[in-house]
Structure 1
């Protein structure tokens, strides 16, 4: 399970976050940016929020994101800006919606980058307690 220190930007990607789905989503968004005449870049959509203290749980932070952003997903992959940057990724705030951040994969979509990102996300995978259980 991923540790999120107090004061650190926690990054959450809601499922699906497999290699295949990351690749598909990054390609689709790149194509959309190109069609809109914007600078195309490969990235995936995530949400980020700073953990204010150790009394605030990771699940409470995920719940805050779920209350303020149009997210869904039975599972949530938790990591931190620092862990992503240590792996060579860049995190950029991209609101709206509130708390939205992009994890930048770069100008080229490389399978090795996608594999590395998927493994990092899988290591922090947890059940999304805000997901309605029926």
Structure 2
């Protein structure tokens, strides 16, 4: 898992710089800067909206005495999506928006749940209960 994260941290910024240079030559520097600002504003607004909806759903689940497991995964995806949207770049923006839209977030949550279950089964991570 750490290898993939390290690869992501090294490769994605290099790709982002390449895309910035290409897009700046194709549509112009000011348009690229404008797109970065617009996606940042849109992403922040969407993250806030989705985060509040998820928080309200979690509160509702807890008021019925149920654990908000689904909302926890939603919250993790929304948090990661918001964080990557704060970093300038078109690749990270695409990843961020995929994590913020409920339609595209559902298969990602399913994958995340499978990864977590696999790690629990292998003993890579453990959960302690009191």
Q: Smaller-chain TM-score range?
A: under 0.3
Relative contact order higher in (CA < 8 Å, ≥ 6 apart): 1
TM-score calculated relative to the size of structure 2: 0.28
Between structure 1 and structure 2, the one with the greater Rg is 2
Larger helix proportion of the pair: 2
TM-score calculated relative to the size of structure 1: 0.27
Larger strand proportion of the pair: 1
